[in-house]
Amino acid sequence: MATFFLVLTAIATFHFLMESIIAPSVRLSVRFQLFALRDRVRALRMKCGDALDSETYHFLESSISRTIKHLSNINLTGMVEAHRFLENNPERRVEIEWIIRKLEDSSIDEVCTIMKEHSKLFGNAMAINASGWWIYIVPVLFVLAFVNKCRAIVQMLSFLREEEMDKFLPPARLGTI
């Protein structure tokens, strides 16, 4: 019982530290990086002038601004819901794919670089916002990996020859179940 209490206390302490101290600090760092990235987009607009069309500029600048606005709410649940939304709305998915292609095909290399950095920061925000759950999720992932490994081993064991199986698994004695 004491061990169980100590484990729960350790888990609660980890969760508290992640959600109350570490995640907000790291999230603030990501926020500052997003501000710097948005400033790069604005500086690129001034530097390139009409070479950076207003539509491309708007796509980049507004997507970074939306990420800044929703930074603390970006999570796995939202990602799953967004994926379902895009699966159920193929016209919107096609529109977003077109925007991504437009940014990737831009004649200005910095546009694609900024888009990739933005995507990376968005993913970092998702990982940060899920960090308090790592202590619950990671053990489950280890168990699932172990179970998958065991399935492969069980399948291999079931096809051993009898003399090989006798080495690893002694035969049952009569009268035992």
User: What is the pTM for the complete model shown?
Assistant: 0.75
Burial class (CB in 10 A: 0-12, 13-18, 19+), 125: buried
How many other C-beta atoms are found inside a 10 Å radius of the C-beta of residue 38? 20
DSSP state letters, 38-74: HHHHHHHHHHHGGGS-HHHHHHHHHHHHHHHHHGGG-
pLDDT confidence band for 174 (50 / 70 / 90): low
Q: Smallest Cα–Cα separation from 74: which of 34, 30, 123?
A: 123
pLDDT at 173 over 80: no
% of the chain surpassing 90 pLDDT: 58
The confidence score (pLDDT) of residue 33 equals: 98
Least confident of 36-45, 109-118, 128-137: 128-137
How far apart CA 141 and CA 153 sit, in angstroms, is 18
